[in-house]
Amino acid sequence: MPAVVFFLPVVGVVFAVAILAFKAEQKRRAELLNFALSKGWMFSPGDPLGLTNRWDGTPFGRGHARQVSNVVRGKERGRDLVSFDYRYTESDTDSNGRRSSRTYRYHVTAVHLPAFLPTIEVSAENVLTRMGGALGMQDIELESEDFNRRYRVRSDNTKFACDVLTPRTMEYLLRGPATAWRTEGTDVLCWDTGRSSPLDILRHVAMLTGIVDGIPAFVWKDHGHDPGLPQTGGGTS
């Protein structure tokens, strides 16, 4: 009987925590919906675009139970964009046979590019970036020592990385938070740990827009796009 008396309050606490978490998530979704509507964008609680397996690099392609949720999509300055929550779970079994799991959560934003570009990944040096060798890219040192101290640059195309990371773009990135980003195919995307919010979405979109705006015209022309011509939609949204 004492065990039952102890168990019931524990169940009550767990249930109460679950209810509070559910209400908080519903409130956040309402905020994201209202934000999207205010921008003339769209919101979906699920994954209508099949984004879970769209990209290969960090933080995708790891663990199991991968899920995309709270998708916001629209256009900014004529470019298609999408922002969403992404999570996956990794499980392990210790020497005693005990199984444990950990879920990782990210806020991801992607902006569609007018041409297919080589891959370059820029991120702050930490445990996650040291694990990021799945793409098989090499580290690149740039002329700015301040930038090299703060960021890790990886690409198989050194010339492309140096062309994209102009002095002006490096200075621009040094002024903001060290958010990881990558060009992959016809998208440029960035990610932070945690869940998305309207302010985070605006910050992500502003950063990615600044990066794309800073790519020199000759880089676009080298990859089949004339920046003097009107852009067309498609891609992420």
How does the average pLDDT of the chain come out, rounded? 87
For residue 148, the 8-state DSSP code is: H
Number of C-alpha atoms within 13 angstroms, CB side, residue 14? Answer: 5
Whether 237 is covered by a domain: the verdict is no
Angle separating helix axes 2-39 and 198-213, nearest 10 degrees: 50
Residue 133 in domain: yes
159-180 pLDDT, tens per residue? Answer: 999 999 999 999 999 999 999 9
Q: Is residue 49 part of a domain?
A: yes
Q: Is residue 24 part of a domain?
A: no
32 within a domain of the structure (yes/no) = no
Instruction: State pTM to two decimals.
Output: 0.84
Q: 227 versus 135: which is more confidently predicted?
A: 227
- Interatomic CA distance for residues 155 and 135, integer angstroms: 9
Residue 5 lies in a domain: no
CB atoms within 10 A of CB 196: 26
For residue 87, pLDDT beyond 80: yes
- Note whether residue 56 is domain-resident: yes
Beta-carbon count within 10 A of 166 CB: 14
The parent domain of residue 153 ranges over 42-222
Q: Is the pLDDT of residue 7 over 60?
A: no
- The position carrying tokens 């932070």 is 192
Inter-residue contact 119 to 137 (CB < 8 Å):
yes
What is the number of structural domains in the chain? 1
Residues 56 and 181: their CA atoms lie apart, in Å, by 13
Tokens matching residue 102 = 């950990």
Tell me whether residue 83 is in a domain. Answer: yes
